[in-house]
A and B are shown apart, each in its own frame.
Chain A
Amino acid sequence: MLKSNQVEEKKYSPEHIQYLKYMKRKNTMVQLSQIALLVLILFLWELSANLNWIDPFFISKPSAIMNLINQFIKDGSLLLHTSISVYEVLMGFVIGTILGTLIAILLWSSEFAAKVLYPYLVVLNALPKIALGPIIIIWAGAGTSGIIVTALSISLIVTIMATFNGFKEVDEEKIKMLQTFGANKFQILQKVVLPATIPTMINTMKINIGMSWVGVIVGEFLVSKAGLGYLIVYGGQVFRLDIVMAGVIVLSIATVIMYKLISILENTLLKWRQ
Chain B
Amino acid sequence: MENKFVQIKDISKIYHTLDDETEALKNISFDVDRGEILSIVGPSGCGKSTILSIIAGLIKPSSGEVFINNKRIEDMNKNIGYMFQSDHLFPWRTIMENVLIGLEIQKKLDKENVDRVTKLLNTYGLKDFKNHYPSQLSGGMKQRVALIRTLAIEPQLLLLDEPFSALDYQSRLAVSNDISAILKKEKKTAIMVTHDIAEAISMSDRVLVLSKRPAIVKTIYEIELTCSDRKNTPLKRREAPEFRHYFNKIWKELDIHVEE
Q: Which residues of A contact B (CB under 8 A)?
A: 1-2, 4-5, 171, 173-174, 176-183, 187, 191-192, 195-196, 198, 270, 272-273
- B91 to chain A: which residues have CB within 8 Å? 272-273
Pairwise interchain contact B105-A187, C-beta atoms closer than 8 A:
yes
Pairwise interchain contact A5-B130, C-beta atoms closer than 8 A:
yes
Pairwise interchain contact A173-B106, C-beta atoms closer than 8 A:
no
Instruction: Report Cα–Cα, A198/B91, bound state, in Å.
Output: 12
- B84 to chain A: which residues have CB within 8 Å? 173, 176-177
B19-59 vs A, CB cutoff 8 Å, 1 = contact: the mask equals 00000000000000000000000000000000000001010
Instruction: Report Cα–Cα, A182/B82, bound state, in Å.
Output: 11
Known: A192-B90, A195-B90. A1 touches B76 (CB 8 A): no
User: Of A179, A192, A270, A272, which one neighbours B58 at CB under 8 angstroms?
Assistant: A179
- A5 to chain B: which residues have CB within 8 Å? 128, 130-131
Pairwise interchain contact A183-B88, C-beta atoms closer than 8 A:
no
- B76 to chain A: which residues have CB within 8 Å? 179-180, 182
Pairwise interchain contact B130-A174, C-beta atoms closer than 8 A:
no
Number of B residues with CB within 8 Å of any CB on chain A: 27
Instruction: Report Cα–Cα, A4/B128, bound state, in Å.
Output: 12
Pairwise interchain contact B92-A181, C-beta atoms closer than 8 A:
no
Instruction: Report Cα–Cα, A187/B105, bound state, in Å.
Output: 7
User: Which segment, of B65-73, B96-104, B166-174, B202-210, faces chain A?
Assistant: B96-104
Q: Is B81 an interface residue (CB 8 A)?
A: yes
CB distance from B134 to the nearest CB of A (A): 9
Q: Is B6 an interface residue (CB 8 A)?
A: no
16 additional A-B pairs beyond A173-B86, A181-B105, beta carbons within 8 Å, are A1-B131, A171-B88, A173-B88, A178-B105, A180-B56, A181-B78, A181-B106, A182-B78, A187-B105, A191-B90, A191-B101, A196-B92, A198-B92, A272-B94, A272-B133, A273-B91
Pairwise interchain contact B78-A174, C-beta atoms closer than 8 A:
no
Q: Across the two chains, which residue of chain B brings its CB closest to A183?
A: B105
Q: Across the two chains, which residue of chain B brings its CB closest to A199?
A: B92
Q: Is B153 an interface residue (CB 8 A)?
A: yes
User: Of B94, B128, B153, which one neighbours A2 at CB under 8 angstroms?
Assistant: B94
Taking chain B's interface residues, is the majority helix, strand, or loop, or is none over half, making it mixed? loop
Pairwise interchain contact B82-A180, C-beta atoms closer than 8 A:
yes
- A273 to chain B: which residues have CB within 8 Å? 91
Pairwise interchain contact B101-A181, C-beta atoms closer than 8 A:
yes
Instruction: Report Cα–Cα, A69/B74, bound state, in Å.
Output: 72
Pick 23 A–B contacts, CB within 8 A, sort by A: A1-B96, A5-B130, A5-B131, A171-B88, A176-B84, A177-B82, A178-B101, A178-B105, A180-B56, A180-B58, A180-B76, A180-B80, A181-B78, A181-B101, A182-B106, A191-B90, A191-B101, A191-B104, A192-B90, A196-B90, A270-B92, A272-B93, A273-B91
User: Of A173, A181, A270, A272, which one neighbours B102 at CB under 8 angstroms?
Assistant: A181
User: Of B80, B88, B92, which one neighbours A195 at CB under 8 angstroms?
Assistant: B92
- A183 to chain B: which residues have CB within 8 Å? 105
CB distance from B16 to the nearest CB of A (A): 17
Instruction: Report Cα–Cα, A110/B81, bound state, in Å.
Output: 28
CB distance from B133 to the nearest CB of A (A): 5
Instruction: Report Cα–Cα, A2/B92, bound state, in Å.
Output: 13
- A191 to chain B: which residues have CB within 8 Å? 90, 101, 104-105
- A198 to chain B: which residues have CB within 8 Å? 92
Instruction: Report Cα–Cα, A264/B182, bound state, in Å.
Output: 43
* Residues of B84-128 contacting chain A, CB below 8 A: 84, 86, 88, 90-94, 96, 101-102, 104-106, 128
Known: A171-B88, A178-B101. A2 touches B106 (CB 8 A): no
Instruction: Report Cα–Cα, A196/B86, bound state, in Å.
Output: 17
